[in-house]
Amino acid sequence: MTPSSTEPDDAGSPAVEALVPAAQADAPAATGKPDAPAATGKPDAPTATAKTDVPAVTGKAARRLAAQRLTRPDLADQLAAVPTLPGCYLYKDADGRVIYVGKAKDLRKRVASYFQDTPGGVMRHSTKTRRLVVELTTIETIALDSEVEALLVESQLIKELQPRFNILLKDGKDFPLLAISREEFPRVFITRDRNLQGVDLLGPFISSTDLRRAYHFLQRTFRFRTCDLDLHEADPNRRHFAPCLNWHIKRCSAPCTPKIGAAEYGADIRALRALVTGRNKSDVVRDLGTRMRAAAASLRFEDAARLRDQVQALDRLKERGRLRDYDEPAAPVIDLHSGLIALQEHLDLAAPPQVIEGIDNAHLQGTHVVAGLVRFIHGVPDKDGYRRFKIKGADGSGDPGNNDVAAMREVVGRRLRRLRDEAGRLPDILLVDGGQAQVATALEAARAEGVTPPCLIGLAKREETIIRSDGSELRLPRRDPGLRLLQCVRDEAHRFCRRYFHLLQKNAVHRVTDDEKGS
């Protein structure tokens, strides 16, 4: 699956034809000469785009580029026409062949970085990249809605066009691939083994980190299985299976149970395959919508709800399409019963815990200090029990400063005070993210409120050590189901808290921008 170093002409490539609108596909071919007309955004311009609402290039943007010292001043007009959107860029040589394909969250910034003649600018590039800059004569771009789509389109373009410099710059490295097994209920996973049997390989992808982030998005959207079970729809034992945690947190549709059949699961995999191989996102969304309405008409409401969630996830890509948004650990595939029993034994509880709450906090050098609380019931996330906190500080001024321990004391106190005042049920386990200091301050907060949680513990991330309320430490094997369940609670609290933190940061930036515009 790794592209060869051949240099085929890109004319008539199915990848390019599928991604460039018809109006542009009919445009005259770029001459490829250094003195070719600059891109103007008109139908005869060489710059391709997959969006019709690309912001117009302003004189201000052109002046900024003109003010820069460029290693290729002959490309200044083409650079000025590059949009400030996520997408892919294609570099062509004098013969009109695509010699390099890349992706970016901001096309103009990324493309311009190749040509900046500043101290440490172009010379920071490798010899091969500098050769690329010398050889290219035409810049084309494909504007998309998100980084996730840009990653998938980049992979398809590289596979179809086999650009020479994509191979030279990654010489000697194996590209990661997305594998879909040929089973009745296919598995989807990442591999570097190009000779793997019994699977279809999609890719290659340049960055394994970006692929894993996109993989998390795909798993949340299409809910494919990752386990190694040998599943068949006719197997009567499926009725006795209990779905793993991935089903409860909507990462899997549980084909190990009768919750979904082979036909519906296979349709989800076909939609995933269509998206990964470069099919237009709107077509995939339209097909999912058709299936959703058919499911609702047949009174298959669980299937309809799953398809609705898939449509919403794809629609949200425009607002939440950064790859780093999906840089989160997958839920552990564990037996929840075993995990709860293990926690009962390890923590000397009278019964397996029914309610576990996890708390984490986040801040940026003492600003935007927030905390998040998540609740798991019988080992399953209960989103109705999630809570967000703005840390107010000891004096209530809203400026708590750079103090994680004080922030933990405040949020634990506020949580337990509310449960006390409203006669709410205390969690069987209250888990704080941190070590001895965080556990000690959480106990202080509990005593101050006159509340004694049944079990208050911490989980220190570096060694994954459990800190008991008496200060003793417990280290469990990494594969222990009880530890893995606690890790899942801790990681979900971290994810939920960080999401709130980034939301506040974004709102603060928008307020500053609005104030500047009004001044």
pLDDT digits (tens, 9 = 90+) for 391-427: 887 766 666 667 888 889 999 999 999 999 988 889 9
Reported confidence tier of residue 205, pLDDT bands at 50, 70, 90 = confident
pLDDT at residue number 7 = 35
Helices (H), 298-365: 301-315, 336-346
Dihedral angle of Cα 496, 86, 368, 462, to the nearest 10 degrees: 50
* CATH number 3.30.43.10 given to 336-508: no
Residue 101's beta-bridge partner residues? 90
Torsion-angle region of 235 (φ positive above 0: left; ψ -120 to 50: alpha; else: beta): beta
pLDDT per residue as tens digits for the range 86-127: 999 999 999 999 999 999 999 999 999 888 765 544 456 778
pLDDT per residue as tens digits for the range 303-348: 898 899 888 888 877 666 677 766 654 455 678 889 999 999 999 9
Residue 398 has phi, psi (to 5 degrees) of 85, 10
Output Rg (C-alpha) for the chain, integer angstroms.
27
Q: What is the mean pLDDT of residues 458-466?
A: 90
pLDDT at residue number 129 = 85
pLDDT at residue number 125 = 73
pLDDT at residue number 418 = 93
pLDDT at residue number 473 = 95
Residues in the chain: 519
β 355-364/429-433 pair status: parallel
∠ Cα 159 162 167 (to 5°): 110
pLDDT at residue number 180 = 96
Query: Which of 455, 483, 482 lies closest to 339, judged by CA?
Result: 482
Q: For 14-168, CATH number?
A: 3.40.1440.10
Q: What is the mean pLDDT of residues 433-451?
A: 94
Most confident region among 21-25, 31-35, 139-143 by mean pLDDT = 139-143
User: Contact at 8 Å (CB) between 136 and 92?
Assistant: yes
Share of the chain above pLDDT 70, in %: 75
| Residue 21: pLDDT over 70 | no
pLDDT at residue number 123 = 54
Q: Which residue has the higher pLDDT, 375 or 2?
A: 375
Q: What is the mean pLDDT of residues 79-83?
A: 91
Give residue limits of the domains in the chain: 14-168, 177-326, 336-508
Reported confidence tier of residue 51, pLDDT bands at 50, 70, 90 = very low
Supply the mean pLDDT for the chain. Answer: 79
Distance between CA 266 and CA 252 in Å, rounded?
Answer: 13
| Residue 467: pLDDT over 90 | yes
Query: Which of 352, 329, 376 lies closest to 486, judged by CA?
Result: 376
pLDDT at residue number 58 = 52
pLDDT at residue number 400 = 64
In order of 116, 203, 369, 407, the CA distances from 366 in angstroms are 36, 43, 6, 10
